[in-house]
Structure 1
Amino acid sequence: MQYTAIVALAATGWRRSVLDQLRVDGWCTFATAPAGWDRRFPWRWSRRRTLAEEHDWRARSRRRSHGWTTPPREAPKLRPAVLAALYRQLRKSLEDGKNEPGAADFYFGECEMRRHDQYGTFPAERALLTVYWALSGYGLRASRALAWLGTAMTISVMALMLWGLPADDPKPQTTGRQVEAGQGLTLTTDTPAPRNPAGALNNRITSERFEKSLRVVINSVVFRSSGQDLTTRGAYTEMASRLTEPVLLGFAVLAVRNRVKR
């Protein structure tokens, strides 16, 4: 796809009626995001196909120029909103051709331009896109979602080991009152409230407490209750785990699905 052809379509009013009707079949070369690592954030760019216009925009933008191709002087300056429209139409073209995995990079580029568009995208929407990008790369980076999932599970396990599990598993206690002969006997069985662990934190890190904590967290990922008695802090940790970790797992599944969908 030639740079001049895309710019010409973007400069005219044809992109809405032409780009989404293009058919991109077989082998077609697009520009790619910079490879390798950098000392500035983001330290590494996701490998994806891009438009030359995005290279131009990023090379002209401060704090985003490292690794992107510098545009020629005569190249027009396009705003992110225009680039988002270009990506959207090309994505639709590939999706109409049943090439949804191939359209994934264009969807990534569309979301990137919407996230950086300070004029046509509301701040709340940009913040939501930023969170979506950070957690899973717009639902296209399974490794990123799995890394966050592993981090969240590790934090949950440590919190449960240190503060969530009681000092001892509460045991049911049965109490009753001695009565005279011939009268009914009433017995009451009650389970005492879990006692918070005491002592040094390093003494709470044991294989037994780790196994119990891991079982609670793994069950939380799949929306199940482990039945383990927990302290008040542990109960809130489990609730947070059951709220966030299944979402991260869903992001990872969605990313894989978007890459293999036919």
Structure 2
Amino acid sequence: MRVLDFDHCLEHLEPGQQDEYFRGLSLGAEVDLRGTTLSGELVGRLVDAVGSIDGRRAEFGRADFAETRFPGLAVFEDVTFFDADFTDAVFASAVRFDKAGFRDSASFLRSRFAGSVTFEGASFEQTTFEDTRFGGRVSFENAKFETDLSFSRGFPDLVSFEGAEFAGEAGFGSLRFDGRAVFRGAKFHGGARFAEARFLDCADFHGADFTTAESFGPVTAEQLIFGRATFRRRMLVDAEAPVMDCSETRFEEGATLRLGARSAVALQRTFFGKASTVMGTASVTSVEGTDVADVVFTDIDLANCRFTGAHHLDKLRLEGACTFGSYRNRQVLAEERAWRADRTAPVGPRRIADLYRQLRKAQEDSKNEPGAADFYYGEMEMRRHSPATPWSERFILHLYWLVSGYGLRALRALATLAVLIAVVSTSIWLGGFKTTPAFGDTLIYVAQSTVSLDTKLATLPKELTPFGEVLRLVMRVLGPLLLGLTLLAVRNRVKR
């Protein structure tokens, strides 16, 4: 594009003619450099010429750089544009728009940035980035967007919107982020569209503030960070990320976290202001310090979840196929597995027993009697191993565990009963009667004594020795007790 009053474009003017052109510019000048090739030196002279009056920063009126090519470093720092057009512009090297102000409209439609580009601290009133292509790192740190903003192409390298403020709707839907995407401390006052976005690296929203947004996703990411972020409306988060950090995140009106199969979410000290649901065939790794009174877990893997320090665990609702870790064919908490691997673990048996007690009630309220039975077993196990438990109580618990598995192991109770019948039968046969009967008759007699029945055998002696009376009394007490423990164990396993 030829420069006004000259026969050539700015790049091909004689040095004297270039000087004359720049001398004619002043604050608020309108420039039309469409299709021109502007070196880094020419950009610098242009900015200096427009901002030369009284040392004020450069302010362009209408600035038309459509189809302009910038082969070298282009620096537009602290420049204000009133109606800027960079449509189809090509930036072959790095470009800096730090602290630039784009008033009225600004268009980067179909622009191409081959190198890094920074808009740090820039402000945009009405800007178009449709079909803009970025080839290097991009930074919009602390930028302000006063109206809706959307991108239609992805980012091949790191992109940062740290501290950025979006007054309107922010559109990042269906984009691919090949590098790290940083939105730390960003403020989304309007909607935040990330539907179908793919983050191949980390998506960092640490400390971000979502004022009116009500949904996020569905998105996929290798790492998704919402630590200390705030969601002020009820939120639907639909995401799949092997590492998802929601520690100290605030869901002020509650949330539904719909997680993909590969997801693992940390919920330490997370605030759920109202009833919330965490669902999907994913895993939760921690709820330490979180009040879970109004939280529902649906089909969640809790095998590696740390519950220590959580509040109102007894009110946590577990629905669907929520699973825990396994130890000797029973469900166990991650804290117990860690303690069994290292007896000096920071969370010991006494605290683990408290966790089991609270979660047992949660399982009972969910009508999951088998799950509640496993947690009762875990609670008894931790009490039996806890140094804080009095020795007399620990002795009783050892016996309770040995003979029936705390009333939860039917085969163990039956085996104990069988051994007891065999021992007592042998003892009575040898010295329980004043005359020695057949061993088979003695066995029947002892078995009947177990259920408090009188024998009808005519061949059995009628008189017992004092030793035999003691053994009969033992069977009439312990026999029904062991039978009762057997039936109780069966009931706890089949009841729903």
TM-score of Structure 1 vs Structure 2, range by shorter chain: 0.5 to 0.7
Does the 8 Å CA contact 2:431/2:468 hold for their aligned counterparts? yes
TM-score (norm. length: structure 2)? 0.37
> Is the aligned partner of 1:223 residue 2:452?
yes
Structure 1, unpaired ranges of 5+: 34-45, 63-75, 168-196, 198-207
For residues 175-217 of structure 1, the C-alpha deviation after alignment (integer angstroms, 9 at most, x for no partner) is xxxxxxxxxxxxxxxxxxxxxx5xxxxxxxxxx6123212221
SS in 2 for 1:24: strand
Q: How does 1:93-242 map to 2 (within 5 A)?
A: 93-119=362-388, 121-167=389-435, 197=436, 209-226=438-455, 228-242=462-476
State percent identity of aligned pairs.
45
Structure ranking higher on relative contact order (CA contacts 8 Å, 6+ apart): 1
Taking the aligned partners of 1:59 and 1:47, their CA distance within structure 2 comes to: 17
For residue 4 of structure 1, report the CA deviation from its aligned partner. Answer: 3.4
Counterpart for residue 342 of structure 2: 60
For residues 24-59 of structure 1, the C-alpha deviation after alignment (integer angstroms, 9 at most, x for no partner) is 1211221111xxxxxxxxxxxx41011111111111
SS in 2 for 1:61: coil
Taking the aligned partners of 1:123 and 1:222, their CA distance within structure 2 comes to: 33
Residues 1:113 and 1:93: Cα distance change in structure 2 (over 3 Å) = same
Residues 1:229 and 1:215: Cα distance change in structure 2 (over 3 Å) = farther
Residues 1:164 and 1:136: Cα distance change in structure 2 (over 3 Å) = same
Counterpart for residue 80 of structure 1: 349
Counterpart for residue 22 of structure 1: 316
Report how many aligned residue pairs link the two structures.
194
For residue 103 of structure 1, report the CA deviation from its aligned partner. Answer: 1.1
Does the 8 Å CA contact 1:165/1:213 hold for their aligned counterparts? no
Residues 1:96 and 1:231: Cα distance change in structure 2 (over 3 Å) = same
SS in 2 for 1:230: coil
For residues 216-256 of structure 1, the C-alpha deviation after alignment (integer angstroms, 9 at most, x for no partner) is 21221112333743233222221222122221111111111
Does the 8 Å CA contact 1:21/1:93 hold for their aligned counterparts? yes
Taking the aligned partners of 2:439 and 2:288, their CA distance within structure 1 comes to: 58
TM-score (norm. length: structure 1)? 0.68
Which protein has the bigger strand share? 2
Does the 8 Å CA contact 1:48/1:105 hold for their aligned counterparts? yes
Structure 1 moving runs of 4+ over 4 Å: 6-11
SS in 2 for 1:224: coil
Residues 1:257 and 1:118: Cα distance change in structure 2 (over 3 Å) = same
For residue 163 of structure 1, report the CA deviation from its aligned partner. Answer: 1.5
Does the 8 Å CA contact 2:434/2:465 hold for their aligned counterparts? yes
Does the 8 Å CA contact 2:369/2:492 hold for their aligned counterparts? yes
Does the 8 Å CA contact 2:421/2:446 hold for their aligned counterparts? yes
Does the 8 Å CA contact 2:288/2:308 hold for their aligned counterparts? yes
The residue identity in structure 2 corresponding to 1:4 is: T
Which protein has the bigger helix share? 1
Taking the aligned partners of 2:405 and 2:386, their CA distance within structure 1 comes to: 17
For residue 8 of structure 1, report the CA deviation from its aligned partner. Answer: 4.7
Question: What is the RMSD of the two structures over their aligned residues, measured on CA atoms?
Answer: 2.2
Q: How does 1:35-46 map to 2 (within 5 A)?
A: 46=328
Taking the aligned partners of 1:31 and 1:257, their CA distance within structure 2 comes to: 23
Query: Which stretch of structure 1 is more off in the superposition, 108-117 or 229-238?
Result: 229-238
Counterpart for residue 180 of structure 1: none
